[in-house]
Structure 1
Amino acid sequence: MDRQQQAAFLDSEREIHDLRFRLLDVRIGQIDRFDADEDFAAIVTKALECGLGKEELLAELPCSWSTVTRWASGQVKPARIARRAIKAKLIEMLGRKRSEHIEEARHLVAA
């Protein structure tokens, strides 16, 4: 890969990270506006769409993957106080993912 191709590649990578960063901002805002009692399935679904993976979620939430998928489908909901805590945890996790994208973009700029 010559210098021009390398520069074009890095520009593309920066653009991808910028788009991911912006999408996460939008999704975090959407999740934040959702009511934990009324829109719990949508909260979980949006978090999954943002790339929170099975391993990440299970490391942070005291439940099974089947429980997470039932939440996302709206089949079941945890208790009200738990819904609010889970919503806060998902927003926190997405904020960390957002920060990771910022760091990756900074490394690309430095390259």
Structure 2
Amino acid sequence: MTKNQIEVITSVERRRRWFREEKERLVAATFEPGASVSEIARLAGIHVSQLFRWRKELCQISAPSVPRLVPVEVVEALPVPASLTEPPPVSRPDRCGRSASRQPCQRARDDPRRACGSS
């Protein structure tokens, strides 16, 4: 038979008030290497979501006030360069399956008349 510790509440309790130092101590414990947030919350007698909420509140970095909408100035477009208007050249594989832009195949180096790209 296992023994479990049971807490019996005999009076009407209000919400527990946590001092900032206690919250900071518990939150700092969650950042220790190998720490389990669930285990720390269980040992403190709080729900894990409460501990995550404290982490979020205490670790919040105040960001500078940045406007959400930024003014944009539209200027006249520059002409498109000619190199972008023409499609790129298509390299077709030769009879050996090599791209024509690469080194010639061994047959072409041995005898240029037998190059893969020539008939």
User: Normalization by structure 2: what TM-score?
Assistant: 0.25
> Which structure has greater helix proportion?
1
Greater C-alpha radius of gyration: 2
User: Normalization by structure 1: what TM-score?
Assistant: 0.26
The structure with higher relative contact order (CA 8 Å, sep 6+) is 1
